[in-house]
Each structure stands twice: as structure tokens, then as C-alpha cells.
Amino acid sequence: MQKVTLDDAPTQHPENGDSEVEVEAGESQNGEKKAKKPKRRTGKGKKRGTGFEEFFCDPPMTPAEYNEEQEIIYPSHRPFVDRIEECIQRFRARRRIGVDRDVVFSRYLFLGGIDSTTRQFQGTRNIGDDILDDATKGAVREMTADDVIQRGGDGNRNVRFYNPNYPEHWDVDFTGVTAGFLSEHLFKMAGSGLAEYRMGVEVVLNFLKYVDLHGVCPEYADDVKRAQRVCLQAMDETPVIKELLELVPGVFNTCLRILHCKPDEVDALDMGGLYESEIKDPTFARVSFSTSLGLLYGINRYPLRSRWTLVDTKEQSFEITAITFPTEETLAKYKAINKHLAAKFPNDIEPCGAITVRRVIVHDGWDNSMTETIPAEEAGVETQFIFEEKLLRLMRVGMKLTVGVCTLDSGVKFIKYVKAIRPSFHVFLPQELMFNYREPVPNDRPARSVHDREEDGGGGAGGDGDD
């Protein structure tokens, strides 16, 4: 056997990054040397991680890197705004964020008052070679970074972002910003996509862990850990909220709505149609809600044999303060009743429990919710609503429900529709209103009027007449 070089082998033209390697040649039957076909080796590199994999962790630091972070980058005597600004820039540099994650992370930073607007003509191509040759990696990162904290004075600052020279109305609150982003803004961004929502939560959690690991702000260490717990809450509550929205208001409330609300009074937001196709017999609807009321509150609390009428309907928001599940004794009674009614009704009466709620104001930036208040006679008053056990299993104490409440003359209240369900950590941040804010610009031109019709040649206020 004899080795031959690529010069002796048949000419090959590698494509797509393939390269040829040395091959061995053997002898043919007539004694002539015969080269084997060269093997190809792909030039594609191994897939690099993004830093957001499930079991990813940052590599250990060398003693020199640790000392640099403790003494130069994140020392306690350095102002917090400088530390967190450099932390954000270094975090971006150490993660392969990608387009989707970049949008989520930039929105998160905006809610925290950080300016992450993309800046034109700020890449390394626009920096002279003489500067790049003498600059360190950190200096280049600062020159090309998009994430900065505004520090301009009057006439040179953007009121949409935090400025340490004008700290009024701003506080350092990792928990509040995280809760506001995950409970309000990310919900709107992800829509019905659970995978997109989880991706957004993972980006925020990854950043908070980075801040915690590198000791960026030890004075806010407890706040950072609470913000991480909010991320874990979001992972737990978001899937059940999406499932709840498909099941509410439940069979019990739908039965009462069928009996006491006219078809033309059904709200467009009502999701009870899911059960109306199953509840075709008004007799079953009456037996179903009467059974649950009797088992949960006793037969003497409400006059079950009398005829009830609807006296009030209004939309309100509540916070769940307690969840009461049916006891084993109650479940046994439901089972016995269903066995007795099996020949009469095809569907079983589902076991029910109750939630205890209190009135709250859910701020969302619309209308006058920021100044809305609860009447003094309703403040602190607790109310109960009945739901099926399977729905109660999905609810969490602290969740906020915006619902249409119907009140009967007997005192029974039921839910006509559910407009929104918000997680227990829901917070509305005023910064939400600044996403599309534009500062007013003086305009000396008078507003258009109906009197401009003659001047415009009869074209009206929206005409194409010449000025």
C-alpha cells in the first residue's frame, strides 16, 4: 500500500464547503496503481448553542474574570445605572438572541425605561480601523451597543425613557417590571400562542439569572429573586388561564343564563355557547342549578321552589381570595343524585364548589380605569360564585376575573360571561402607554373648519382645493 497526495489523485472540485483529504491507493490486477475516490469532509461547523437551552449554564469564570467583574465592572461603589447598562450589553454579547427573542427582550427593557432603539450608522463598519485596532472588546461593545440609559439634559432627553438626572416617578423594581411585562404586554404579543409566551418568559428569566449570577446589583438581590419567582408563576398560570378561557363560565352559570337571560341579551363576549349545545332541556338546567345550590348552601337559604327574575346585570372585576372545593361528602351526594336521575337525563350534574372574590379595579390604560374607584359600600365585601370542580382546579388565588354579573331577586348571583382572566401577579405599568407616545410639536396652522368650504372651491374640509 502506498499513500498518494491530492496532487496525484483525480482532480475533484469541492462544493458547498466540502474539502478533500488524503486517500490510500492500491494496486490493480495488472500491477497498475489505482487511486481510490477521494473522500469528502463537510466544512460545516457544529451547531452553536444560543444560551437559552433548557439546561444551559454559563461557563465558570477564571480568577481574572471574576476579579475584573468585582473590582472594575460591577463594584458596589459604581453607580447602579452604569452597572446595569453594562450588564445588559454584556448579556446580549454572550447570548445568540435571534430576531424573535430580540424583539421580546427589547420590549422588556423598554418597560424598564431602557432605550434599546436600533441606531443607524453605529456598526463596526462605520468605525475607523485605527480606532478598532486600539480599542478593547469592551470599548467596541460600548460603541456599537443599542441598549443605553438616557443621560441627556433639558432639550436633549427623551421623556419615554428613564434618566438618572430626572428620577421623578421612577423606581428600581425588577419584580414590578417583570410582572407588568409578563402579565400584560407579553400576553398581547404572544396572543394565543403558548410556545411564544414561554419563549418570552425564558428570555426574561435567563436575563434575571445572569444578573443574579454575576452579582450586578447586590443591593437589589432579593428583588431580582422575587422577579425570578414571578417568571415561574407565569409558567404555571398561563397554560391554565388559556384552558380556563375555553371552559368558562361553566355549566352551572350557563344553566342560569338559559333560564333567566333572553337569547338577544347574550353578550358578544360570552363563551357559554360551548355548553348551550349540551343543555337543550330547560328542566335539566333547573334541576342542575337547584341541586348545586341545595348541596352547597342548604335547601333553606334560597327559595328553590319559587320563580326568580333578573334584577341587575353589570360588568365588574374581582380578585379570587379563596377557593372552596366540594368535600367527599358532597361528591358522594352528587353521585347518588346522578344515579337517581340517570334514567331521566342523559348528562350528569357536575360537582361544584365556589370561589370567594372581592371587588378590584383592573387598570389597563383604557377609558378612566386609572382614576376609577370602588364604592365605599362595596369595598372589602366578599362574594361567592359557583363553578364546576374541574374549573376550580385550574384557578389560583389572586387571579383577577372581569365578568358580567347577573343578580336575581332571590339574591343569587351568577356569571353571564367572562371577559378576561388575568394572572395573580398582574400589574399594569404606566410605561405601557409610552410605547407609541410622541411629544407634541407646535403647529401655527389653524385647524380645518366647515368655513373652509368656499376657500377650497366647494371641496369641503376634505377636498383637494389649492391653498
Structural domain total, the chain: 3
CA atoms within 13 A on the CB side of 287: 18
pLDDT digits (tens, 9 = 90+) for 404-440: 999 998 889 999 999 999 999 999 998 998 888 888 8
- Looking at the domain assignment, is residue 438 inside a domain? no
Q: What is the pLDDT of residue 15?
A: 44
Range scoring the smallest mean pLDDT among 12-21, 107-116, 186-195: 12-21
- Looking at the domain assignment, is residue 441 inside a domain? no
> Which span out of 150-154, 196-200, 407-411 was modeled with the highest average pLDDT?
196-200
Report the C-alpha gap between 181 and 201 in whole angstroms: 9
Range scoring the smallest mean pLDDT among 101-105, 119-123, 153-157, 394-398: 119-123
Residue 214 pLDDT > 80, yes or no? Answer: yes
Q: What is the pLDDT of residue 3?
A: 46
Based on the domain organization, do 7 and 89 belong to the same domain? no
Residue 95 pLDDT > 50, yes or no? Answer: yes
Average pLDDT rounded to a whole number, residues 158-167: 87
Based on the domain organization, do 109 and 150 belong to the same domain? yes
As a dihedral over the C-alpha atoms of residue 7, residue 13, residue 15, residue 21, rounded to 10 degrees, the angle is: -20
C-alpha cell, 136: 478593547
Based on the domain organization, do 310 and 203 belong to the same domain? no
> Which span out of 116-125, 193-202, 357-366 was modeled with the highest average pLDDT?
193-202
E strand or H helix that includes residue 431: none
C-alpha cell, 69: 467583574
Residue 38 pLDDT > 70, yes or no? Answer: no
Based on the domain organization, do 94 and 14 belong to the same domain? no
Q: What's this model's pTM, rounded to 2 decimal places?
A: 0.77
- Residue 69: domain span: 63-244
Q: What is the pLDDT of residue 97?
A: 87
- Looking at the domain assignment, is residue 443 inside a domain? no
Phi and psi at 104, nearest 5°, equal: -65, -45
Q: What is the pLDDT of residue 442?
A: 84
Based on the domain organization, do 417 and 272 belong to the same domain? yes
Average pLDDT rounded to a whole number, residues 447-464: 63
Residue 219 pLDDT > 60, yes or no? Answer: yes
Q: Is 436 helix (H, G, I), strand (E, B) or coil?
A: coil
155 or 246: whose pLDDT is higher? 246
Based on the domain organization, do 192 and 279 belong to the same domain? no
Based on the domain organization, do 271 and 160 belong to the same domain? no
- Looking at the domain assignment, is residue 417 inside a domain? yes
Q: What is the DSSP string of 28-77?
A: -TTS-EEEPPPPEE--PPPPPP-S-STT--PPPPPHHHHHHIIIIIS-TT
Q: What is the pLDDT of residue 266?
A: 53
Confidence tier at 23 by pLDDT (50, 70, 90): very low
6 or 328: whose pLDDT is higher? 328
Based on the domain organization, do 284 and 182 belong to the same domain? no
Residue 11 pLDDT > 60, yes or no? Answer: no
Average pLDDT rounded to a whole number, residues 116-128: 60
Average pLDDT rounded to a whole number, residues 350-377: 83
Which residue from 279, 258, 274 is spatially nearest to 349, judged by alpha carbons? 279
Q: Is 27 helix (H, G, I), strand (E, B) or coil?
A: strand
Q: What is the pLDDT of residue 274?
A: 52
Residue 317 pLDDT > 50, yes or no? Answer: yes
Q: What is the pLDDT of residue 145?
A: 64
Q: What is the pLDDT of residue 60?
A: 87
Count other C-beta atoms under 10 Å from residue 237's C-beta.
24
| Beta carbons within 8 Å of 279's beta carbon, 6+ residues apart | 251, 254, 255, 258, 285, 288, 347
Based on the domain organization, do 171 and 318 belong to the same domain? no
- Looking at the domain assignment, is residue 131 inside a domain? yes
- Looking at the domain assignment, is residue 102 inside a domain? yes
Q: Which residue, of 422, 444, 461, is where some domain finishes?
A: 422
pLDDT digits (tens, 9 = 90+) for 220-268: 999 999 999 999 999 999 999 999 999 999 999 999 998 888 765 555 4
- Looking at the domain assignment, is residue 466 inside a domain? no
Based on the domain organization, do 21 and 150 belong to the same domain? no
Q: What is the pLDDT of residue 34?
A: 56
Q: What is the pLDDT of residue 157?
A: 78
Residue 306 pLDDT > 60, yes or no? Answer: yes
380 or 145: whose pLDDT is higher? 380
Report the C-alpha gap between 105 and 210 in whole angstroms: 14
Based on the domain organization, do 197 and 268 belong to the same domain? no
- Looking at the domain assignment, is residue 6 inside a domain? yes
User: Can you say how many angstroms the Cα of residue 145 is from the centroid of all Cα atoms in its chain?
Assistant: 26
Q: Which residue, of 213, 244, 275, is where some domain finishes?
A: 244
Q: What is the pLDDT of residue 419?
A: 92
User: Phi-psi region for residue 31, left (φ > 0), alpha (ψ -120 to 50) or beta?
Assistant: left
Based on the domain organization, do 418 and 308 belong to the same domain? yes
Q: What is the pLDDT of residue 172?
A: 93
Report the C-alpha gap between 104 and 90 in whole angstroms: 17
